């Protein structure tokens, strides 16, 4: 996409935000006078009806007007309160990913193009869409199996969504680049890196083979877990633009009254949900990062079934240990250890004072110990922790922020099921077991094992490293004796570049000269 196209895209976004009253709803406190004046001016162009709406409603309307790719961008930014602020993240989290259906004929064409087979060979029946989101829509269908006809869910990518997203992303890159250049305070948040993360996660989400792989991986991880599973994937009918999976007959977790009426134990469901999430996070390092109530079903047998694995998160061993030690440090009120963990992980720059950081951690932890356990939110604790770390130049860790945001959502669903939900009591079996296994004597054995593996790999690579070192040394000797030389192609490329640069400079000088002549003529 050209720079002109990106600028035009930004102007369109700005105009929609102005028209829907989003700009006028922004807080004015702390803004420079010139910015406040500009805000007051553009607010005059807001629609009359928008002024009576809440800011979150205005933002939702604006994003929906901008189209499917901006809905996805908004949902991603809702997971990054460190970038957009807590208030806007909360506003964006209310975005409803419900879009208009696209034609069934287009869905069928997408399926046949992706799988290379006629639809009639793939499905015994194929129904009208029942749900449509920014990236894909879902159809009910049936397939013939040796056991008889079986109902399945077919998710199909929205036609043209990849190109639209690429165009809109170009504008985001431009904003991120300008932000890093002209707002030094924002560099800690790495806006360009955040945009790259958005690009990568959405590309993954638009390739339904990768969602199928995520479902398959988490199915293997949770095979023996109590009370939790994911739909089975039909790999024969899955490709880049389509995924076919088991149809789930269950009640959405958002429908609390229906769950009660069906006789499900809501308190037990709340415990199972948070324990499952913590197992995925600490044990597997791989978690469903979009566990809102609409993506969670309760099957007739009481099993929680999670769907829509387009957004997932991963944590390495270092991040998992970091999380567990933080939680354990807060539980035991060992704030110095919590501070040490941040410094050991390299998340807080070493020039800061560890004791001062521990003091800031204490300001978060002490109020918690005076509260009843059921009122303490683990997600809220992590939110406060990330706010404090900003004072100590802690760089943004996208994987930890995604974890924190998902934990807030999962904890919220558990409290929706059980208003007196005790997060710490429910999580203790999982967190306690992980800490005993990974932070006790077994940790030393595991570290020794990992160190031995690394040493073996290094030993295997020694001959290759030695050969490369010798080659590099030989090339350095040649350069010192003969000087730095370019081949003919490199010299020609440099010449062309220099000539092009000179032509551009001459054109610019002529343009400036003509502009000065015109200005002088107008003033005369």
Active site residues: 290
Note whether 123 and 141 are within 8 A (CB).
yes
170-175 contacts, C-beta under 8 A, 24 or more apart: 170/1, 170/5, 170/6, 170/9, 171/6, 171/7, 171/9, 171/10, 171/13, 172/73, 172/198, 173/6, 174/3, 174/6, 174/7, 174/10, 175/10
Tell me the two tokens of residue 13: 């976004």
Note whether 139 and 128 are within 8 A (CB).
yes
List the beta bridge partners of residue 305.
229, 297
475-480 contacts, C-beta under 8 A, 24 or more apart: none
CA angle 172, 46, 165 (to 5 degrees): 25
Q: How far apart are CA 433 and CA 327, in angstroms?
A: 13
Q: How far apart are CA 119 and CA 125, in angstroms?
A: 9
In total, the chain counts a number of residues equal to 524
| Element (DSSP H or E) covering residue 411 | helix 398-417
Tell me the two tokens of residue 353: 């004072």
């Amino acid at each position: 996409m050209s720079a002109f196209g990106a600028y035009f895209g930004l102007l369109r976004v700005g105009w929609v935000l102005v028209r829907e009253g989003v700009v006028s709803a922004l807080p004015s406190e702390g803004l420079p006078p010139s910015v406040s004046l500009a805000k007051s001016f553009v607010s005059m162009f807001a629609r009359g009806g928008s002024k009576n709406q809440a800011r979150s409603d205005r933002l939702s309307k604006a994003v929906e007007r901008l189209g499917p790719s901006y809905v996805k961008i908004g949902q991603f930014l809702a997971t990054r309160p460190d970038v957009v602020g807590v208030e806007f993240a909360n506003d964006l989290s209310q975005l409803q990913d419900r879009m208009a259906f696209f034609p069934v004929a287009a869905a069928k064409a997408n399926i046949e193009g992706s799988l290379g087979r006629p639809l009639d060979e793939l499905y015994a029946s194929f129904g009208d869409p029942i749900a449509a989101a920014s990236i894909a829509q879902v159809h009910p269908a049936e397939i013939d199996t040796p056991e008889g006809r079986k109902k399945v869910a077919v998710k199909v990518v929205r036609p043209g969504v990849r190109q639209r997203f690429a165009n809109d992303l170009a504008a985001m890159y431009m904003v991120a680049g300008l932000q890093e250049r002209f707002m030094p305070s924002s560099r800690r948040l790495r806006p360009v890196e955040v945009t790259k993360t958005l690009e990568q996660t959405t590309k993954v989400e638009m390739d339904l083979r990768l969602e199928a792989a995520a479902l398959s991986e988490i199915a293997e991880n949770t095979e023996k877990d109590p009370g939790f599973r994911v739909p089975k994937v039909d790999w024969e009918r899955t490709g880049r633009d389509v995924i076919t999976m088991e149809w789930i007959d269950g009640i959405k977790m958002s429908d609390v009254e229906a769950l009660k009426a069906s006789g499900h134990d809501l308190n037990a469901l709340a415990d199972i949900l948070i324990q499952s999430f913590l197992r995925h996070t600490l044990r597997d390092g791989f978690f469903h990062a979009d566990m809102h109530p609409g993506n969670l079903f309760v099957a007739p047998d009481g099993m929680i079934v999670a769907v829509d694995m387009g957004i997932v998160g991963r944590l390495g061993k270092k991040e998992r240990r970091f999380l567990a030690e933080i939680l354990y440090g807060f539980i035991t009120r060992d704030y110095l250890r919590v501070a040490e963990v941040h410094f050991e992980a390299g998340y807080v720059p070493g020039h800061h004072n560890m004791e001062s950081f521990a003091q800031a951690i204490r300001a978060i932890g002490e109020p918690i110990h005076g509260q009843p356990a059921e009122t303490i939110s683990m997600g809220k604790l992590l939110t406060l922790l990330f706010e404090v770390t900003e004072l100590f130049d802690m760089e943004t860790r996208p994987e930890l922020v995604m974890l924190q945001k998902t934990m807030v959502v999962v904890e919220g669903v558990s409290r929706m099921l059980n208003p007196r939900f005790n997060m710490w009591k429910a999580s203790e079996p999982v967190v306690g077991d992980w800490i005993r296994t990974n932070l006790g004597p077994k940790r030393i054995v595991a570290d020794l094992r990992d160190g031995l593996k690394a040493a073996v790999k290094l030993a295997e690579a020694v001959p290759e490293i030695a050969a490369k070192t010798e080659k590099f040394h030989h090339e350095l000797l040649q350069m010192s004796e003969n000087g730095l030389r370019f081949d003919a192609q490199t010299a020609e490329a440099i010449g062309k570049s220099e000539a092009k640069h000179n032509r551009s400079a001459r054109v610019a000088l002529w343009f400036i000269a003509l502009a000065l002549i015109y200005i002088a003529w107008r003033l005369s």
